[in-house]
Structure 1
C-alpha cells in the first residue's frame, strides 16, 4: 500500500521535472499578417511539489508577451489559470504533463492557444499556436 500511495505523488511532481529556475533565450513570433520577428525571452519557474508558478516575458522591437501562469499537476492532468498583462487577458489552462513536458490549451473569452513545453537537461523548447494578433511563437531557452 505504501508504494501505491507514493506513486501518484511522484507522478504529480514529475510533470514539472527539471523546470525550476530561470531560463533565457530567444526565438521567433509569427504575427497575424504573416510577418516574423525575432524575440528575446526570459522564463522563471517556481516549482513546489505538484504546483508551479511560471512567468514568461518575450519582446521584439514591436511585440511583447507577458505571460504568467499558476498550474497544478494531478494524475497526468495539468490545470490552472493564466494572465497576459500587456493585453489584459486571462483564463484557464488545461492539458497533460509528464516528465518535464506539457501540452496544454490556454483559453479565455474569444481566445485559445495551444502551448507545448519540453524540458531536457538545461534546454527548453516552448511552442505557442493561436488565432489572434500572433499566430505562433517558437522559443528556445537554456539555464
Structure 2
C-alpha cells in the first residue's frame, strides 16, 4: 500500500483527481427526493384513511357523478347532470364539497365546508355563478344528512343520503328553482 490516496479514492468509488458528474448526482438526488415524497404521502394517506373511517363523513371521499331533475320556478322540469367531489378530513368530521350541475337552461356551482360535532352539522356554502354565499346548519350521521342552507334572500333544505357508492341529493328552495333531485355514484 504504497499509495494511500489512490487506495482511499478507489474505496470511495472515485479515481484520484476525478470530479463528480453533476448529471449523475442530480439523478441520484432526484431519486432520493422522489422516494422520500412517495413515502411521506403513503404514510400521510394511510394515517388519514384510518382517521376518516370514524366520523359521520366516512366513506364519502372521492369523485361522484350522476343525473336527476330540476323543477324551475315556472314549474317546468328539466334533466340535469352533476359532478361532485368530496374531501374528508378532521378524523372524518370535516367535509369539503364541490357540486356542479347543469341542465339545458340552468347551471350552478356549489361549494361547501362542513364540520360535524355530536351529530350537529355547521359550515358555509357558496355558489360561484350567482356570487352568493351563506351558512349551513343541520344534523346527520350514518349516511343521512339534513341541512338548511341560508343566505341573503335565499333558504334551501338539503337532504343527502349515502349508501356505499350510491348517493341521493334533494335540494328544495323558494328561489330560481323549486326542487332538484340527483342520484350520484362514485367513480
TM-score (norm 2): 0.69
Which residue matches 1:44? Answer: 85
1:63 to 85, 89, 106: 106
- Let me know the Cα RMSD of the aligned residues: 1.4
Q: Hey, which of these two has a bigger chunk of strand by percent?
A: 1
- Partner residue of 1:28? 69
How far does residue 17 in structure 1 lie from its aligned partner after superposition? 2.4
- Asked if the contact 1:125–1:141 (Cα under 8 Å) also holds between the matched residues in 2, the reply is yes
Between the aligned partners of 2:55 and 2:172, the Cα distance in structure 1 is 25
How far, CA to CA, are the matches of 1:129 and 1:65 in structure 2?
A: 14
| Unaligned residue ranges in structure 1 (runs of 5+) | 1-9
The alignment partner of 2:74 has SS state of: coil
Aligned match for 1:114, one of 141, 157, 172: 157
Greater Cα radius of gyration, structure 1 or 2: 2
Deviation at 1:99, TM superposition (A): 1.4
Residues in 1 aligned to 2:168 and 2:114: alpha-carbon distance in whole angstroms: 18
Q: How many residues align?
A: 133
Question: What is the TM-score when the length of structure 1 is the normalising length?
Answer: 0.89
Deviations 1:75-96 (A, max 9, x none): 1000000001111110000000
Unaligned 5+ segments in structure 2 are 1-50
Q: Distance in 2 between matches of 1:91 and 1:102?
A: 18
Q: Structure 1 residue runs of 4+, over 6 Å off?
A: none
Match of 1:17 in 2: 58
